[in-house]
Each structure stands twice: as C-alpha cells, then as structure tokens.
Structure 1
Amino acid sequence: MSLDGLKIVKCGSQLWIEIDRVEKANAMTVAMMEGITSAIVQAGADETTHAVVLSAKGEKHFCAGVDVREQSPDGDAARQRERRSHALAALQDSVMVAPVPVIVALNGLAVGAGAMLALMADGCVAVEGSALSLPEIDIGIPTFSGANVLNVIGGRALAADLIQTGRRLPAVDALNRGLISAVVLRGELELSAKKAGEALGSKNRQAFVDNKSWINRGLRAALEEAREEHARHRARTQGVGKH
C-alpha cells in the first residue's frame, strides 16, 4: 500500500513502513503521521503481524521531524499547529502502546520528532554515521517533549546537553549510552532490523505488551506533562501582541 510520502508493505510476519519524502528530508506531514499511526494500530490488531519496522528512503535523513511548513488546507495556521500536535501525539502513543515490537531502522539523521521516534521505539538499529538531533533551540523554540523523552530515557545530563546545545548525538555514542540497539554497516541495516523484529516478535505477545506498558509508564506520563506545557506555551505565544 502506498500513501503520499509512505510505502507500507507486509513482509511475512512483519509490517514495514517506509517514509518516502526524500525531497523534504523525510519530514512528516499530518497525513503521513496519521498514516503511520493507522498502520501501527492495525498491525497491533492483526495476530499474523509480529513486528513493525519503521524505515526511511535515502541515505541522508531518516526523518527531519514534523513538516512545520505544511500549509493548512483551510488557511488557519493556528488550527494547523493543533493538527500537527494531535497527529504527532497519536503517533507517539501508537509506538508506546503497540502490542507488537516497533523497530526503527535508522538510515541517517533523525531530527526532532524523528529522533524521539527512534528513542521511544522498542528497538533501533542504526547505520554508521547516522545521528540523533533535537535542535529546536537553534530556531528559537523550546521542545518540552524532547526534553522529557531524553530525561526519562537518557537522564538529566544528556537531556540538558542535547536540548540546550542542539548538537547531534552520533549513533555510536547513542549505542554506548544504551539509547539504541545496534550500529551496523549500511548494507546490513535491513537484515539487522528484520532480525531485531523477529527476536522481539517471537516473545509471548501478552507478556510482551504487559512488560512494555509497565516499562513505558514513566515515559507516557512525562510526554503527557510535556504536551500540556506545549499547549500552554502555544496559548501564551499566540496571545502576544493581540491587544
């Protein structure tokens, strides 16, 4: 199945979702996020699907995050920001609660929401030279979600480092910190991601999802807190100058 910017294929017992928007650094539109979410939810409801692999086209970018330049179909910029926010939240939730493992095949740079997906997946296999980045500070905006994800997964020191500097974290460093599963040669990425999905997908499904729900409880609470702060921040900044 193909949607704009996505290719979704069932390969045996695995569902492969490929982000295919290379000309936009694989940045996700609202429709793309909704499409990925729907595919993950459907995979979780299908007893013949044992794992989901999220990959991307090209060799430079896994995902440049959410496409903040996407225009609203009705011309309402504020409503479009809300659409993006809700679509991203639903996508993140689908990854965290899916009863099957979600594996990220990191082919290049993962930025913003793309980096968060790699971090919150059940496993992430990365190619040499790939990296994670949460550089929102360099364009003058805060990332409460990114800060909370890193705080829970990597600790306060790493969160303060990456969030406040905007620097890239090379995949090798992420591996050494236990943030991703493996770093492989580019030619080995697809097979390595497939094997990671097979390994986790072979576990008892109910036990896997019960463990996953318990493991992710702190991350889900932290993201909910961050979303509430993002909403308050949007309300404050949208009101500036409107007197």
Structure 2
Amino acid sequence: MSENVILVEKKGAVALVTLNRPEARNALSRALREAICETFDTLAEDDSIRAVVLTGSGDKAFTAGVDLKEAGQTGFALGADGGNIDMAKSLGNYPWPIIGAINGYAITGGFELALMCDVLLASTNARFADTHAHVGIVPGWGLSQKLCRLIGTSRAKELSFTGNFLDAETAERWGLVNRVYQPEELVPAALQMAEDMTKTQPVLLKKYKALIDDGFAMRFGDALKEEIRRSAEHAESVSAESVEEARKAVTERGRTLNK
C-alpha cells in the first residue's frame, strides 16, 4: 500500500478511514484506489471492527474523482490498471456498515465511491456532481443504476445529463444523504452513528446488511420471499432464552436514551 495516501484509525469497534491526498482534492489515483481496496479487504478480516466511517482529508473534497492527470497518461478504462483494482468489489464485499462522511466535493468517480457506502452523511461543504458524460466516459462503478434508485430517475437524469453540482441541503431533501452537519461536526456524528450500529447484535448486523443489499438487487416479490426464507432460517438458531435477554437489553437501552 502506498504510504500515507490513506489513513486508518481504529476507535473501539469502528474504523475511521480517511482518503489522504488533500493537495489533489483526494483524487483517486491508482495508488489511492489500490489502498482503498487493500484497506477494506484487510478490515473485512479484522474481527475487532464492525463498522467503518469513510471520509476525505481537509474540508474541500471527499474525492474529486479519478485523477485526471494520471488518467490522461494511462487511460480512463477500468481495466487500465490490469483489472486488479476494483473498489466496487472491495466495498461491496465488506460485510459491515460503511458510513460515508462526505466532507466536500464528491465528483464523478468520487460520487460513485460515495454511493458504495451504506449511509451518507454530509457537511455543509459537500457538493455532488456526475460529469461522466462531459469527460467522455461511461460510469462503471454503479452510479447509473444506484443514483436513480436513490433519488428517482428524473432527478438522476438531471444530474448526469447536466453535470451540475448538487448542494448538501438539496441532497438531503432528495434523499441522497441522511443528514447535513457543520464541517467540524460531521466526522464525530458519523463515528457516533457507527458506534450505535456496532451495538447491534453482530450476527444480526451482518445478516441484516446482506438481506437489504441482496433484496435491493431483486424484484420486489422475490425479495419478500427471500426475507421470509432467511427469517425462518435464522429463527432455527434462536432460543426463547436469548430472545428474552435481547428484549431486556433493548428495553433498558430505550429507557436510557429517553432519560
């Protein structure tokens, strides 16, 4: 892994992963893309980590997308790096929640990286844009299919056909991001949300993420059947005693949160 292009800080069961090329607005060079894959592949094997917060260094950019200077020499094709660097695969295979803390510009390939996260939070500095068509390439990391499912076909076409920027407040209103924070509040809020997620029963947290993601790729009727199948399968491993203990824990947590 190239030195310093990505930073990993573990905070209990949460890992804070920071893209660290602020001088280049965290542009996705080959080295950074490789580091992202290696980081998530490694974290997937780390039993102590059950959630990740992904953000960018500085307050200007989450990531401005593929490093255009480098791409001008190596080409834009996803296979230009030998086909060995697949961020969509590494993040897609990560079994625990990924919270994207979008601290600034998330442009084109950077927008696609954001969409690989399970939950998006944004600072007031966040700006989203899809300039694939303007640059002369077709998205290959999922944007054309994910974005329309999140915000609707018409809004997705507006963004992708114009290349215009979407501000954080509009992104929240459209359902692209869950919440918007002041810049200094963003990462702490993301870490707190990640910590809350890690308090879920580990087996259920992993199974629930897989159920939602797998069902999202199915027709609705098939997804409902799959939910029933997995629910019945899981129920066979649950005892009445464990359910009662879990009920007590949930009740106590509710009382604590409502004080």
Same fold (TM over 0.5): yes
Report the AA paired with residue 42 of structure 1. T
How far apart are residue 211 of structure 1 and its match? 2.5
Which residue of the other structure, out of 149, 156, 160, is the alignment partner of 2:157?
A: 160
Residue matched to 2:92: 96
Change over 3 Å in CA distance of 1:147–1:84 after alignment to 2: farther
Report the AA paired with residue 44 of structure 2. G
The 2-side partners of 1:79 and 1:158 are apart by: 26
Change over 3 Å in CA distance of 1:220–1:45 after alignment to 2: farther
Q: How much identity, in percent, do the aligned residues show? A: 28
Change over 3 Å in CA distance of 1:45–1:80 after alignment to 2: same
Which range moved further: 44-53 or 140-149? 140-149
Structure 2 residue 177 is the aligned partner of structure 1 residue 201: no
Which residue of the other structure, out of 119, 127, 133, is the alignment partner of 1:131?
A: 127
Per chain length, whose mean CA-contact separation is higher, i.e. which structure has more relative contact order (CA < 8 Å, sep 6+)?
1
Listed one character per residue, the Cα deviations across residues 17-41 of structure 1 (whole Å, up to 9, x for unaligned) are 1111122121011221121122122
The 2-side partners of 1:79 and 1:191 are apart by: 35
Residue matched to 2:211: 214
How well do the aligned residues superpose, as a CA RMSD in angstroms?
2.7
Residue matched to 1:23: 23
Residue matched to 2:118: 122
Q: Does the 8 Å CA contact 1:4/1:32 hold for their aligned counterparts? A: no
Structure 2 residue 148 is the aligned partner of structure 1 residue 151: yes
Q: Which entry has the higher C-alpha Rg, 1 or 2?
A: 2
Q: Does the 8 Å CA contact 2:2/2:32 hold for their aligned counterparts? A: no
How far apart are residue 61 of structure 1 and its match? 1.0
Q: Normalised by the size of structure 2, how large is the TM-score?
A: 0.74
Structure 2 residue 8 is the aligned partner of structure 1 residue 8: yes
Which range moved further: 57-66 or 95-104? 95-104
Report the AA paired with residue 196 of structure 2. A
Which residue of the other structure, out of 112, 124, 135, is the alignment partner of 2:108?
A: 112
The 2-side partners of 1:69 and 1:218 are apart by: 39
Moved over 3 A (4+): 77-81, 83-88, 217-221
Listed one character per residue, the Cα deviations across residues 171-226 of structure 1 (whole Å, up to 9, x for unaligned) are 111112222121001111121011111122222233222232232237669xxxxx
Which residue of the other structure, out of 167, 170, 183, is the alignment partner of 2:167?
A: 170
Uncovered stretches (5+) of structure 1, i.e. residues with no partner: 222-243
Residue matched to 2:181: 184
Uncovered stretches (5+) of structure 2, i.e. residues with no partner: 219-259
**Secondary structure, in 3 states, of the residue corresponding to 2:59?**
coil
The 2-side partners of 1:111 and 1:87 are apart by: 23
Report the AA paired with residue 145 of structure 2. N
**Secondary structure, in 3 states, of the residue corresponding to 1:158?**
helix
